[in-house]
Amino acid sequence: MTDEAIEEKQDTEETPEEPVELTDEELDRIADTAIAALQDILKYFNVGEVTIDEYEGDEGELILDITGDDLAVLIGRHGKTLDALQFLVSAITVRTIGYRYPVVVDIEGYKGRQRQKLESIARSSANRAASQNRSVKLRPMTPYERRIVHITLRDDDRVETASEGEGSARHVVILPR
């Protein structure tokens, strides 16, 4: 699958869906399926012993956080390998369980730190858009990154957000109301 095809496929995940109430057994099945897929993929990386912690995120997603020694190879340049790893685990999980449930793969809190940076950029850009009464265009971002910006600013009455552009040039624009 090309980067553009992956980008388009992931782009459908940008709009948050209404959370579906699942039983504990169903959540356990999703987690077990995602962890098994992740462990199978990790066998092909020379990363040694890893621990996979699972927990629920703020938006109801399942977060799998991998910890261990020398895991930079799993993150890759600008998180590209980590994005691909997450895409594979999500795709395998959807195929296995038969429906989409958001699964986030993280490496030692990398995405948490990136999320904090993106939230900060989103808030400061919203402040700039509102105070200067003009739109602010952010750098091109992955669907996951754009979703964080949209979620961060969805309750800010001063601005609205929109995604523009195609493929790897797709970016968020913050517009004053």
Q: What is the per-residue pLDDT for 135? A: 95
Can you tell me the distance from the alpha carbon of 112 to that of 21, in angstroms, rounded to the nearest whole number? 25
Torsion 140-1-107-92 (CA) sign: positive
Q: What is the per-residue pLDDT for 140? A: 94
Q: What is the per-residue pLDDT for 20? A: 57
- What angle (nearest 5°) sits at the alpha carbon of residue 107, between those of residues 6 and 90? 35
Helix (H) or strand (E) holding 40: helix 24-42
Blockwise average pLDDT, block size 10, the chain, 177 residues: 43 45 86 94 88 87 90 89 93 93 92 92 96 96 90 95 93 95
Q: What is the per-residue pLDDT for 70? A: 82
- Burial tier of 157 (Cβ tally within 10 Å: 0-12, 13-18, 19+): exposed
Q: In 10 A of CB 32, how many CB atoms?
A: 14
Full strand arrangement of the beta sheet holding 62-68:
50-56, 62-68, 103-107
**Strands 136-140, 103-107: pairing kind:** unpaired
Q: What is the per-residue pLDDT for 138? A: 96
